[in-house]
Amino acid sequence: MTQAATSSTLAVPAVGSVPRHVAIIMDGNGRWATKRFMPRVAGHSEGLEAVRKVVEECVKQNVEYLTLFAFSSENWRRPPEEVGFLTKLFLKSLRKEVARLAENNIRLKMIGDLSRFGSAITEMVEFSEEKTKDCNRLTLTIAANYGGRWDILQAMQKALAQNPHLDPDGISEEWLAPHLSMAYAPEPDLFIRTGGEQRVSNFLLWQLAYTELYFTDILWPDFDAAELQKAFLWYAQRERRFGRTSAQLAEGSNPISLSDAV
Q: Where do contacts with Mg ion occur on this chain (CB under 5 A)? A: 27
- Among positions 15-34, residues that touch ligand IPE (CB under 6 A) are 25-31
224 is catalytic: no
Which of 48, 86, 177, 231 forms a contact with ligand IPE (CB under 6 A)?
86
Of the residues 62, 75, 151, 222, only one is catalytic, namely 75
- Dihedral sign from CA coordinates of 240, 191, 257, 17: negative
Q: Based on CB atoms, which residue is closest to ligand IPE, 71 or 235? A: 71
For every residue of 143-170, DSSP letters joined together read EEEE-HHHHHHHHHHHHHHH-TT--GGG
DSSP letter, residue 177: G
Q: Are 66 and 135 in contact (CB under 8 A)?
A: no
Give Cα separations from 136 to 63, 106, 108, 116 (angstroms).
11, 6, 10, 29
Which of 50, 195, 207, 221 forms a contact with ligand IPE (CB under 6 A)?
195
Q: Based on CB atoms, which residue is closest to ligand IPE, 71 or 206? A: 71
Closest distance between ligand IPE and the C-beta of residue 219, in Å?
7
Q: Does residue number 223 form part of the binding site for ligand IPE (CB under 6 A)?
A: no
Q: Based on CB atoms, which residue is closest to Mg ion, 27 or 46? A: 27
Burial of residue 161 (CB within 10 Å: 0-12, 13-18, 19+) is: exposed
Q: Does residue number 201 form part of the binding site for ligand IPE (CB under 6 A)?
A: yes
**Binding-site partner at residue 230 among ligand IPE, Mg ion, none, CB < 5 to 8 Å by type:** none
27 is catalytic: yes
Closest distance between ligand IPE and the C-beta of residue 254, in Å?
32
* 3-class secondary structure, 69: strand
Rounded CA gap, 146 and 149, in Å? 9
